[in-house]
Structure 1
């Protein structure tokens, strides 16, 4: 992107778009406010262009690059980032780490696979968007946030224990598949001795 007038380069969360199923421009638009670096997997390039979003990097294999070479001129100054075995996520995250980005919103990644991302959490702050929810990791044992009342998913390997403190009341949850909890308005504290993820709804259906 060309305009970084408000924040330092690489300070704002990058945007890595892997899949647009369940997403429209309206759900992505708020993430574009500070002109982030935008990376897009090859299958979603034409959808993202149709939304009017300026792409910085297209993650693509050699065949796609050859067939779509004209994009380099049409979408200048977009660049190709080579990929093999369709490993778009890994290639995108490695690029962001190498270019000193500190955080990224990953659009269209299956939240069931987030446990495989934990090695990256030392290098990047990751938020995973899997419509209609987004998931963020708690990696330092505890996390406190104000909620206006919400339905949340606690997501961790089965058998992980997460303590939830709300209004001076504590409850411990043993995580199973799709553990949802309801929290009221106010600050909620989450604690665990393992990395876990909190999912909240960002879209209404």
Structure 2
């Protein structure tokens, strides 16, 4: 007996790649396994084309023809990531993985409209409202703005905005903000 997965359009998180160097190629390969909508820019489109990876949308500063068929090209208006997020929201995407050099302050403003995960140089960032609960192994590093913490369980402070899990088990964070809070964890 075989199992079949039915993928509905926009069911899998889309993939925005602002910097292919921000994440290991093997990890990018894992993100591409379910054939997400792939959005690139002038800096990353050639990486995908050279690897024969299908690109769906390119936000660019110039009009350009691509060897792949059906690549949609749009001019950059607000900024690459903001324009890409606007596109995904307009096309009813519910989630996106963003590979970039660092978490962008603008992302918190989009977090109520689309589920955002940022992957950058060994850290996975998520945007959380009110509280965060997750099982983590002992010694895992967590990055969170300490001025937004109301309470915490299972982690201890080691540096500014950096914490470490004390033992295997669930950690609990509660925030003193009604805004989305960016939390980073090592991957």
TM interval, shorter chain, is: 0.7 to 0.9
CA distance in structure 2 between the partners assigned to 1:97 and 1:37 by the alignment: 12
Q: Give the structure-2-normalised TM-score.
A: 0.85
Three-state SS of the structure 2 residue aligned to 1:149 is coil
Residue ranges of structure 1 left out of the alignment (5+ in a row): none
Question: 1:75-117: CA deviations, max 9, x gaps?
Answer: 11211122136x1011000000100101100101412x33x32
The 2-side partners of 1:45 and 1:148 are apart by 37
What RMSD in Å do the two structures reach over aligned CA positions?
2.3
How far has the Cα of 1:122 moved from its partner?
1.1
1:8 Cα shift? 1.4
Segments of 5+ residues of structure 2 without an aligned counterpart are none
Instruction: Select which of 110, 114, 132 maps to 1:124.
Output: 114
CA distance in 2 between counterparts of 1:52 and 1:25 reads: 14
CA distance in 2, matches of 1:191, 1:14: 29
> Residue 190 in 1 paired to residue 180 in 2?
no
- Given that 2:136 and 2:169 are in contact with CA atoms closer than 8 Å, whether structure 1 keeps it comes out as yes
Separation of aligned partners in 1, 2:160 and 2:20:
25
Equivalent position to 1:161, from 149, 158, 169: 149
Match of 2:184 in 1: 199
Aligned length: 181
Within 2, Cα distance between the matches of 1:109 and 1:92? Answer: 16
| Residues 97, 176 of structure 1: alpha-carbon distance in 2 compared, 3 angstrom cutoff | farther
| 1:172-192 deviations in Å (ceiling 9; x for gaps) | 86x974423234222222211
Q: What is the rounded CA distance, in whole Å, between the counterparts of 2:119 and 2:29 in structure 1?
A: 14
Which residue of structure 2 aligns with residue 51 of structure 1?
51
Structure 2 residue aligned with 1:108: 100
For normalisation by structure 1, the TM-score amounts to 0.78
Answer yes or no: is the 8 Å Cα contact 1:163–1:172 preserved in 2: no
Q: Which string of whole-angstrom CA distances, capped at 9 and with x for unpartnered residues, describes residues 25-80 of structure 1?
A: 2120111122111101111111122233211111112x2x2xx32x0xx2112111
TM superposition outliers: structure 1 runs of 4+ over 3 Å: 175-178
> What is the distance in 2 between the residues matched to 1:6 and 1:33?
14
Change (3 A) 1:46 1:24: farther
Q: Secondary structure at the match of 1:129?
A: strand
